[in-house]
Structure 1
Amino acid sequence: MTSLFTTYRLGDLSLPNRVVMAPMTRVRAAAGGLATPSMATYYAQRATAGLIVSEGVQPNVVGQSNPGTPGLHTDEQVSSWRPVTDAVHANGGRIFAQIMHGGRVSHPDTIGMQPVGPSAVAAEGWKVFTPTGLQPAPTPRALETAEVPEQAESYAQAARRAIDAGFDGVELHGANGYLISQFLSSNANLRTDRYGGSVSNRIRFAVEAVSATAEAVGAARTGIRLSPGVTFWGVEETDIPELYTALLTELSGLGLAYIHLEATAEEELLAGLRRAWQGTLIMNPVLPMGPKHTGRDEADHWLDLGAELISFGRAFISNPDLVERLRTGVPLAPVDEATYYQGGDAGYLTYPAYQYTA
């Protein structure tokens, strides 16, 4: 039986264990989308993870979703990330940057322009974060056919900057209702050109973005996160098994580092996708932001089902020493949800490692 605590070879990286820190938005970046010294400390504290995947990083101005998130589209942003990656590496860790284009999940008050999406369809009933608080999700501007490749290429450009900043690789955020997920969707994507309609057309943007990124920085440094059947930010998907089997088939020939799946569909469907994908699978075993947190039981279950690596999200917020806690079975510290997005170091750098007592 595979253990969470056995080593694993991921591309050129030797991982000391199979615990992955999942990407989590923490909105602690400085003005201009710059990484901060506190962010360096935060990630370095968690460097015992086999792999860290950073919070979502916008690849361009129009791709920013929330205020207070970092970017990788200026030289200043690249420079600001180097102390972060240096700190992780100094503590023996490995870190990928998650490249996240928000698409329609944004607001003019945040980015200074109208958000873009596959179609001019708002995330009805959802509110987005803005500098002045939550506001109704706006209607995006539908990208012209000639503009779509530019947005796909933005992931590759950010990936180049990520490698310059010292990251070991990148993960494209293809999940949870953001831009790639919007193109996969059957209600956010109403296009009638080569990027919409049929399954083969709806997966085209994802394939182009991943292919461009793999060409830019190497396939062994490129992964993608996916959420089959997701309904976050108002997206819906039809033909889910066909859609994701087709996508994984297209991606299979690229030699990617991994696919990172979220538990947003029934286990039977996800297990079928595991069989369809012959490369490395990172599995996030519980619904993101759902009532349950990933623990040893869920991790071991998916290792038995064939996943090579298991990602943990919220447990890493309040347990910087999560790997050791999982190894020894000591209790996990609870997380203060009120500090997820409030900014500052409270609830960010203030969770200690477990204190053993005689």
Structure 2
Amino acid sequence: MAGLFDALTAGKLELPNRLVMAPMTRSRADTAGVISASAADYYAQRASAGLIITEAVQISERGQGYPGTPGLHTAKQVAAWRRVTEAVHAEGGLIVAQLVHCGRIGHPSLYPDGADPVAPSAIASGEQMFTADGMLDHPTPREMTLDDIHAVIEDFAAAAANAIEAGFDGVELHAANGFLLHQFLADGSNHRTDAYGGSVEGRIRLTLEVVTAVTGAIGAERVGVRLSPGNPYNGISESDTAELYTALVGALTPTPLAYLHVFEVVNRGMTGLVRAAWPGVLVLCPHPTPESFPSTPETGAEALREGVADAVALAEMWLANPDLPARIKAGGPYNAADKDTFYGGDHRGYTDYPTLDADR
């Protein structure tokens, strides 16, 4: 039975332990999508993770969903991320970039041309975006044309190539949490009648084509995919979750991906279905009960014991405890996360959480 501190091979990635740092939006990039210089310190401080998955990184201007989020589609963005990967590697860590197109989770104020966000269908999320000017409703998006879809596939592949140029060890494709790929998967947000909608086969098509393009660009063993079956976040609804994800995971199985990453939403039974269908490495962000948010080392160790995961992704615990493995081995204590500094701001709540040695 694997433990949190056992090594793990995931494609080309040799994880020294099974404690993964989950992706967390921190909104500390400039208006050009260039990640802040302090991000190098932030991620390097957490290099004792078996694997770091970055915050979501948009693949294009139109892929942005929130103010202050970073991209990987310009030379300046690539150069800024290279400083981050070099800092992590200098500390002996592994880091992959999570690539995202946010689809309808966006706003004209984010885009230079002021146009509406795009989505599989012209259906608004019903949610809002936080800005310096207050909360703004997500507008009704423009339904994507086939040319738009093909451009997004190319943008994912180009961003993956940029990630490797920036020194990342791989990429994770974000097909979860209500963003564009998830919008195509879910029948509540995808009302298309062409080859990218309707049946389960049609709705999984875009995700599969993005995976094919990205693995063709950088190699399958450097690619992970994140899913969140049944997650209603960002206005998502799925009427056929079990059928949908069983088909998607089955279609992904022939591709030797580095890993599949599941964000669990109080649905251990669904996690078990994914585990049964997926023969490769499964990283789980475990939330088996309503009380298990945020995930903890205990819920992670339980998932390993149950065999539903090969590695566990923790979020808030990593945010507040840069030396999390050392603290787990020592039995704590753990820093509490400052929720007021989660998004935007300076070093406070970002690079100033003390280590266990400093506490002592």
Q: Kindly report structure 1 stretches of 4+ aligned residues shifted beyond 6 Å.
A: 287-291
Deviations 1:212-262 (A, max 9, x none): 111111000011110000100101012111100100111111110110001
Q: Which residue of 1 aligns with 2:214?
A: 213
Partners of 1:60 and 1:304 in 2: CA distance? 40
Distance 1:331 1:219, change over 3 A: same
Q: Given residue 96 of structure 1, which amino acid in structure 2 is its aligned partner?
A: V
Does the Cα contact within 8 Å between 2:59 and 2:155 map onto a contact in 1? yes
Q: Given residue 318 of structure 2, which amino acid in structure 1 is its aligned partner?
A: F
Does the Cα contact within 8 Å between 2:128 and 2:138 map onto a contact in 1? yes
1:295 aligns with 2:296: yes
Distance 1:240 1:73, change over 3 A: same
Give 1:35 shift: 1.8
Q: Which residue of 2 aligns with 1:118?
A: 120
User: RMSD value over aligned CA atoms?
Assistant: 1.7
Return 5+ residue gaps in structure 1 as ranges: none
Give 1:305 shift: 2.6
Give 1:152 shift: 2.1
Return 5+ residue gaps in structure 2 as ranges: none
Q: Which residue of 2 aligns with 1:168?
A: 169
Q: Which residue of 2 aligns with 1:281?
A: 282
Give 1:87 shift: 0.0
Deviations 1:108-154 (A, max 9, x none): 01123210000000012x11134533201111000012321211221
Q: Given residue 195 of structure 1, which amino acid in structure 2 is its aligned partner?
A: Y
Q: Given residue 328 of structure 2, which amino acid in structure 1 is its aligned partner?
A: L
Q: Secondary structure at the match of 1:134?
A: strand
Q: Which residue of 1 aligns with 2:201?
A: 200
Give 1:304 shift: 1.8
Q: Given residue 41 of structure 1, which amino acid in structure 2 is its aligned partner?
A: D
Give 1:265 shift: 4.7
Partners of 1:28 and 1:267 in 2: CA distance? 34
Q: Which residue of 2 aligns with 1:81?
A: 81
Partners of 1:304 and 1:337 in 2: CA distance? 31
Partners of 1:172 and 1:308 in 2: CA distance? 19
Does the Cα contact within 8 Å between 2:11 and 2:256 map onto a contact in 1? no
Deviates more, 1:90-99 or 1:305-314: 305-314
Give 1:290 shift: 7.7
Partners of 1:260 and 1:35 in 2: CA distance? 24
Deviates more, 1:295-304 or 1:228-237: 295-304
1:226 aligns with 2:209: no
Partners of 2:220 and 2:269 in 1: CA distance? 28
Give 1:2 shift: 1.0
1:346 aligns with 2:348: yes
Partners of 2:277 and 2:36 in 1: CA distance? 40
Partners of 1:352 and 1:212 in 2: CA distance? 42
Give 1:10 shift: 1.8
Q: Which residue of 1 aligns with 2:146?
A: 145
Does the Cα contact within 8 Å between 1:31 and 1:68 map onto a contact in 2? yes
1:94 aligns with 2:111: no
Q: Given residue 336 of structure 1, which amino acid in structure 2 is its aligned partner?
A: D
Q: Which residue of 2 aligns with 1:325?
A: 327
Q: Which residue of 2 aligns with 1:30?
A: 30
Does the Cα contact within 8 Å between 1:109 and 1:130 map onto a contact in 2? no
TM value normalised by structure 2: 0.96
Deviations 1:332-351 (A, max 9, x none): 11111011013211110110
1:316 aligns with 2:331: no
Give 1:36 shift: 2.2
Q: Given residue 10 of structure 1, which amino acid in structure 2 is its aligned partner?
A: A
1:61 aligns with 2:61: yes
Partners of 2:103 and 2:291 in 1: CA distance? 23
Deviations 1:75-96 (A, max 9, x none): 1111111110000000000000
Deviations 1:57-108 (A, max 9, x none): 0000000011111100011111111110000000000000000111000000
Q: Secondary structure at the match of 1:55?
A: strand
Q: Aligned pair count?
A: 357
TM value normalised by structure 1: 0.96
Partners of 1:168 and 1:174 in 2: CA distance? 20
Partners of 1:269 and 1:108 in 2: CA distance? 36
Q: Secondary structure at the match of 1:89?
A: helix
Q: Given residue 305 of structure 1, which amino acid in structure 2 is its aligned partner?
A: E
Partners of 2:273 and 2:5 in 1: CA distance? 26
Give 1:54 shift: 0.3
Deviations 1:280-324 (A, max 9, x none): 000000279986222232111111232111000011111001111
Does the Cα contact within 8 Å between 1:325 and 1:331 map onto a contact in 2? yes
